[in-house]
Amino acid sequence: MGRLNVNLCGIELDNPVIPASGTFGYGYEYAELYDINVLGTFSFKGTTKEPRFGNPTPRIAECYSGMINAVGLQNPGVEKVIAEELPKLKECFNKKVMANVGGFSVDEYVYTAKKLDEQEQVGWFEVNISCPNVHGGGIAFGTCPDNAALITKAVKEAVKKPVIVKLSPNVTDIVAIAKAVEEAGADAVSLINTMLGMRIDLRTKKPVIANKMGGFSGPAIFPVALRMVYQVSNAVSIPVIGMGGVSTAEDVIEMMLAGATAVQVGAANLIDPYACKEIIEKLPQVMDKYNINNLNEIIGGVK
């Protein structure tokens, strides 16, 4: 076992660096630039039961130290992902991939997860509970502990592979949500998803994004994400995957000290497609600088 290796829900990773869902497509696009097998793994684009075109454009807005997006889960639907996207990925990625699953009802989450559970390439599920609950008036599943637990339990009962629940920061108490999904059977949690943000065009005096508001990500949210990872990791006994503004090897070390077993990189991939590769390459020298022999020694090192 190398000094960068970590174990995520029983599966060994060569390193803890994972491109976040929505920033790495289905992988093969980045494989045209470099060998993506250097990654620990990656979380592929959020996938739903039916194909989704997503929200109207414009749906991206630049911000100081970040960006806002309201893409709206655009994806070809689970049947096409299985038939077309995963075979392309298999040609360039020989590790287990993380399947990010979205839905607008319990049945949709379960259907999509069951379909993907049959795929040998899939190692884990990352269940995005920031999706609006169409049966509950449009409120996101992840804003209520009971609803979060409901989705977790339903997906967990439907699949054999580890279930990671992706938590939203747009809540009063993220620890309560984390505890609820742990009790419902989650094998791990990942956090944070994007924060809610907005930009206004001074010339038109209208929101930049057609959806008015969207998910704010990038370096500006890193301190908030780090705080939430710290809080959650000290409240649950399951692994935590930290994300939110991570863009350097130093950020990865900070996230792990706060309690993360693995770390996802999101917006940085959209700025520099080589971001994850470079972070992995720099990790050993940053570890040497701070006298870290093995990454497992520092997980949750700050109490």
Please tell me the distance from the alpha carbon of residue 20 to that of residue 28, in angstroms, as a whole number: 15
> How far apart, in Å, are the Cα atoms of 110 and each of 53, 124, 181?
21, 14, 16
Single-letter code of the amino acid located at 94:
N
Q: Which of 9, 131, 144, 276 is catalytic?
A: 131
Q: In what order do the strands lie in the sheet with 17-19?
A: 17-19, 262-265, 240-242, 188-191, 163-166, 122-128, 97-101
Contact 36, 192 (CB under 8 A): no
Structural tokens at position 73: 């889960």
Active site residue 144: no
Residue 19 host element (H or E): strand 17-19
With tokens 């419902």, the residue in question is 184
Choose among 20, 56, 62, 59: nearest CA to 39: 20
What residues act catalytically?
A: 131
